Structure formats: C-alpha cells, structure tokens
Structure 1
Amino acid sequence: MIRCVLIDDEPLALELLEAHVSKTDAVQLLKSFTNPIEALQQLEQLQPDVIFSDIQMPELTGVQFSKIVGNKYPLIFTTAYDQYALEGYELDIVDYLLKPISLERFQKAIGKLTARTTAETLVIKSTTPDYIFVKSEYKTLKVNLADIHYIKGMADYVTLVLKDQKIHTLENLKHYEKILPSSQFMRVHKSYIIAMDKIEFIERNRAVILGDYIPVSDTYKKAFFDRVNG
C-alpha cells in the first residue's frame, strides 16, 4: 500500500486528487493540506511514501517545499503551468502532473513511483548488510538484525531489546527507523520499532514480543494491520 499526502491551496484540486486516490486500490490517503507549512510540520509523524504537491502556493512554492524535504520523501508535482516541468525533473521529482489531472494520468504516476521504489529496493537489498553497529557506553557493538526483537525509545536514550540482552545507546529512534530495513522492521508507536517476524501474537492494539505488550498507536495502526493482514 502506497501512503500519500496531498498538498494544494485550491480545495477543488484537492478534491479531485482525493477522488483519484479513492479509486486507486494501491494508494491510501494519509492527509490533505491546503497549507504546505502545516504539511511540513506533520511529515515526520505521517511518514508518507509519496507527496503530491502543487507548485504555485502563496505560503511556500512546491519547488521551495521540495528543497526543504530533500530526498527524504518522493515527490510528485501538480500544477496548471507546464513551464515548471523542467525544473521539476531537475529536482529529481518522480513525476509532473498537469492540471486538470485525469485518473489515468494519476495512476500512471503511481506506476512510475512503484517502478522507482522497486528499483531502489533491489539496490538496497544488494548492498545492505545483515547487521548494524551500535554505540553503547565506550564500545561499538556489532548487532545482527536477526537478533533484534524490538527497539524502545526513552527520553534520553534508546534500548535495543534482543532475546537475552538489552543494549542502551544515545542514538534516537528516528536513526534506527532510517537505517533498519522496512521489510523487516516497522515503527508502530512514537516510542517503538518492532521486528515483524518476532511478533508472538497480537491482542487488540498491542503486539506481543518476548512477552512484552507493545502498543500500536493510532498513527501507525492502519499501516500495521494492512501489513499483518497482507
């Protein structure tokens, strides 16, 4: 499931994109925004797989937005003016949609995103080791990914929970969300990342690992159960 965020200062343009999302089975709408600054403030919490952004907006242009976000989130530009196309591609935008956007063109853009993501995943799989290094006190420990059951974020440190060991480190949870392969690990709460294959059972909105009940918050609930249910 591709989770998206929509940004456009024109309500009618947003409604059209929302309609296209509802007609595309592979896409889930996380949230729509008419103000790109508000969107920026919520991206870390939402963690979208792609952002559809208009280019001409009074608070912040799509190009400015793209430069702030960088390569962290794939971006698809939407605009009524085709003169921005070249600049969009120079910014490594996934696609450029000219308004009014048809359902067919919207779905073609999703196809481009899927192809690009698949290619990047293959590269990552071929280059990503099956271990990480963790700084803990005065040591740097090699930790096999297969040994990590879950990671808990505290106020001042993070704990990696292994079967027979707990490792404390000053790295934040966001660091591990970024470096751990999403095929194996998933963030389910502002304070927890879990290894999906280590789940023993699920009870209501809690995943049980090593007998510990780990909450799945509302922010991550749908994505979590979509993945659990296939």
Structure 2
Amino acid sequence: MESVLVMAQVSKTVMPTMVSNGQVFDQKLVVFATDSFSDQAVLSSSLHQLWAVKYSPTMRLDVSYSPKGALSTFPFPGSTHHLEGLGVKLNERRADILISRGLGLTKLYNLFNDPDVVGDEDVELMRALHVQVDEAVVAAYGWSDVELGHGFHTYRQVRRWTVSPAARVELMDRLLEENLRRAKEEQKLSVPAGRKGRGGQKAAAEVDGQHAQEGLF
C-alpha cells in the first residue's frame, strides 16, 4: 500500500489520518493496514469513537486506543461509494485547513470541540463534515431512524461535538447487538480461531466481562 491510516495510540481525539506508507512508524502509533477512505470515514465517525472510548483503557482524560478491545470487536458496516467519497473529502479538506493554519490534528480538534468557537468557517466546515460522516455511517448500517442530535455533549468528563446522549445509548446498544450477532454467525460457521474476519466477530461483552443483557450504561 502506498498509504495507510494511522492514529496516535493515546489521545483525546481518537481520530485517524491517511499518511504515506514510505516511512518507519513510531511505536506510539496505531497503524491500520488499509488505504480505504471508506474505512477512514467509519473510523472517524462518532460511532467508532464511542466504541473506542468504551472498550479502551484511559490515561487521565485521554483514550489509550486498544486494537484488541476497540478494533477487533467493532462491527464495521459495509463499504459504500458515499462513505468513500466522504472519507476523501474529510481527508482533503482537513489537510487544507491544517496546512493553511499551521495546526496539528490535536489543535484543530480542540477548536472543533470548543463550544466557545463560533463563526470560524474552517471549524464549522469540519463539524458539518463530521455530521455528514455520522449520517452516512448510520445509513450504511440501515439505522437512519436514529435521531443523532449533534451538538456539544459531555461524556466521561469530556465535552465534545458529538451525537446526543440518547443517540449514544441507542447506537451503542445496536453496535453491541450487531457484534454479538456476528459472533454467533461465526460460531455457526465454525471458523477456526485466528481466522476472524474484520467486523467484530469476538464479542465485545467478552472483552470487559459483561453480558449483553447487563446494558452498557
């Protein structure tokens, strides 16, 4: 691959970015072996972010992203042309903003998640793009009936631009149900251990010792 997705293992943004593969990656980076912009859109969505916060350890208020807990269990939706296009758009528009303003990813998302930042065209564009990404990811699952209610909401002591608390609970419940459904399908097919396909075949409930009926919150 000429490019791959990477993400700082410890951060409060939980946000991947596409970079050149012609370099040695630091051990503090999580490297996703994909050059798919559809994957970038999904991994940049509020759905994956909420899942990662739930199934990764934390360091103070930062998330220490767990590939085993947050990625291998995440039930990816199917790729769509719309998701691919939004992934490209998010990557390109964000790169333009970072270059033009001399910002790093963390500083940009600090502005993005700051409710006092109003009227900044670049920040408003980023918020609008992430709303579009979330809507496209939800649609890819067939869950467009969920009212996302984007705005500034607090979750685990962190205030950020994301979906509403009610949407968060509903989406997390549906993601867990989908995770468990796929795990059961895998058991029926008797897929040997070590050959788990992407899509969260290992039940997330197993990761934290909970059962689905116990609820997430």
Calculate the TM-score normalised by the size of structure 2: 0.31
| More strand per residue | 1
Q: Which has the higher contact order (CA 8 A, sep 6+)?
A: 2
Give the TM-score taking structure 1 as reference length.
0.30
Structure having the higher helix fraction is 2
Bigger radius of gyration: 1
